[in-house]
Amino acid sequence: MKIDFTVPPEYENTRLDHLMAQIIPDCSRSRAASLISSGHLQVDGQTRKPAYKVRAGDTVFGQLPEESPGRVIAEPIHLDILYEDTHVLVINKPAGLVVHPGAGNAQGTLVNALLHHDPGIARAGEDPLRPGIVHRLDKDTSGVMVVARTARAAEFLKKEFKYRRVDKRYLCLVTGVIKADKGEIDLPIGRHPVKRKLMSARSDAPRSALTLWRVKERFVSASLVEARIKTGRTHQIRVHFYTQGYPLIGDPVYQYRKARKNQGGQTKAGRQMLHAFQISFRHPFSGQRMAFEAELPDDFIKISSYLRQLQAAPA
């Protein structure tokens, strides 16, 4: 991967390793520091220290070495299994669990757990780092996922997702009271032009993204919303509600500074309040339509209860 990046004014005095961890997709700060120290990333043709404070106009250039995917190791990690047969596995993923190995996450992922549960999943798909994975949830998003147990099931389910035949529904807690009862957000999103780990409506290469939503409950300064995504873009729900002025409670990235400060003392949310509560898909062997729901996790219930208490409290 080639890096050719000119530092914009807003990143003046940012540590070089911190900046590169934001710019390079799936790159941890430790890996960024290693790439800088080894000379794979240089500033205006010079090797700098990871702690170097960049200046506006600096050019960071380099050719990143290809990482060997290696072999994913099976690990005895607990799985909350909602359903399984010889073709598919439906699980309730907890918040904090990364779906598949990547830079800085070689172990402790859902894939490691799946291979321990069923070593045969290693043959379900072409990517050795993502066997059985036909869709994903962000690390700190909880909820229901379907996993393929065979190559045939993986191929079938990937096509179902591609042609939007899978119905996915989420519950989220957003900052602010939404007045309308329901609506849709039809707004293309893509990689942020500068912060490459983030998604944005200001992307240089946006892709169509459609979210249907309806309000389930209103609180003093928040709303419980059911969201149904017709497309499966990275961070879609989080970005869409952020652009509308209703960032998800607890979201560490797509958040306004004032909202982050205010809600931190109120809810103490340790992650974005987003839960994939329902999925419906055709079975890859029988063709039968199947639907599954994942119960709300404790942190989501706790914060919802707290918001209800605020709503009920006398003014």
Active site residues per annotation:
138
DSSP string over the chain: -EEEEEPPGGGTT-BHHHHHHHHSTT--HHHHHHHHHTTSEEETTB---TT-B--TT-EEEEEPPPPP---PPP------EEEE-SSEEEEEEPTT--SS-BTTBSSSSHHHHHHHH-GGGGGSSS-TTSTTBSS---TT-EEEEEEESSHHHHHHHHHHHHTT-SEEEEEEEEES---SSEEEEE--BEE-SS-TTSEETT-SS-B--EEEEEEEEE-SSEEEEEEEESS--TTHHHHHHHHTT-PBTT-SSS--HHHHHHHHHHH--SS--EEEEEEEEE-TTT--EEEEE-PPPHHHHHHHHHHHHHHHS--
